[in-house]
Amino acid sequence: MARRTRRPWRIGTPVVVLLCGGLFVVSANNSQGTDLRPGRYTDLASLVRNEAQDYEKLKQRVASLNAEVARLTDSVQDRQVSRYQDRIEKLKDPAGLAPRSGPGVTVVLSDAPESVINATTQNLNFLVVHQQDIQAVVNAMWKGGARAVTIQGQRVVSTTGIKCEGNAVQLQGVPYSQPYVIQAIGDQADLINSLDSDDYVQLYRAQAADPEISVGWSMAFEDNLTAPAYDGLLDLSYAAPLG
């Protein structure tokens, strides 16, 4: 009588079923009720809006926690803590953590009009505002003795980062579209002289006056500007070498 052999599927099928069941359990545990393979974002505007909303929520959370820390700190009756608190209060203004008001200057940068973009033979990179354009204006304002600077109403501090993000500029983690409003509080004559003498700003303004480029530039004196206190994160994140 021929010996019956055990067919492989009789062993393989239960093993596959067990493995699939294990994967379903792991996936359900990791997803926590969310989609592990969400659809791709096809709408950049929606993505920007969602990111900005998430940032605002985190900012509000940080403000709430900072207020709680301040309340707890004030309740501590200790001379050393009081001395540190006095030092912190003195450093708040130069660090941009206190609001500022006074006369100043407003500069507005914007992309070239659509009519120019559609008709120009120039490199299209010349027709839009880049992060280095904004940085050049801000740096010239600091050189002119600005006591406070804002971009799109957001206070600029030593940790502020500006970078291009598609057709927008990201400031402190939030994307903004043009036109870009840059304001500085300080001596108006010194601010104007610094902007007028800056080589990069001069080049930008020359391109603004070129009909084939026509990037936007406007500058105005302001009798009274207000720069809000910086309310974002102050911690620095950086890479560290291994070993």
DSSP 115-154: HHHHH--S-GGGGS--HHHHHHHHHHHHHTT-SEEEETTE
108-141 burial code (b ≥16 CB/10 A, e <16): bbbbbeeebeeebebeeebbbbbbebbebbbbbb
Q: How far apart are CA 232 and CA 157, in angstroms?
A: 10
Q: Say what the pLDDT of residue 43 is.
A: 54
Is the pLDDT at 57 greater than 80, yes or no? no
Q: Pick from 157, 158, 152, 159: which is nearest to 174 by CA?
A: 152
199-238 burial code (b ≥16 CB/10 A, e <16): eebeebbebbeeeebbbebebeeeeebebeebbbeeeeee
Kindly state the DSSP code that residue 5 receives in the 8-state scheme: P
Q: Say what the pLDDT of residue 116 is.
A: 93
Q: Say what the pLDDT of residue 16 is.
A: 53
Q: Say what the pLDDT of residue 51 is.
A: 65
Strand partners of residue 218:
108
Q: How far apart are CA 137 and CA 132, in angstroms?
A: 9
Q: What is the pLDDT of residues 188-202, one digit of tens each?
A: 999 999 999 999 999
Q: Please name the residues in contact with 62: beta carbons below 8 A apart, sequence gap of 6 or more.
A: 231, 232, 233
What's the whole-model pTM score? 0.66
Q: How far apart are CA 130 and CA 162, in angstroms?
A: 10
Q: What is the pLDDT of residues 127-183, one digit of tens each?
A: 999 999 999 999 999 999 999 999 999 999 988 888 887 678 888 778 888 999 999
Q: Say what the pLDDT of residue 231 is.
A: 81
Q: How far apart are CA 36 and CA 238, in angstroms?
A: 29
Contact 107, 139 (CB under 8 A): no
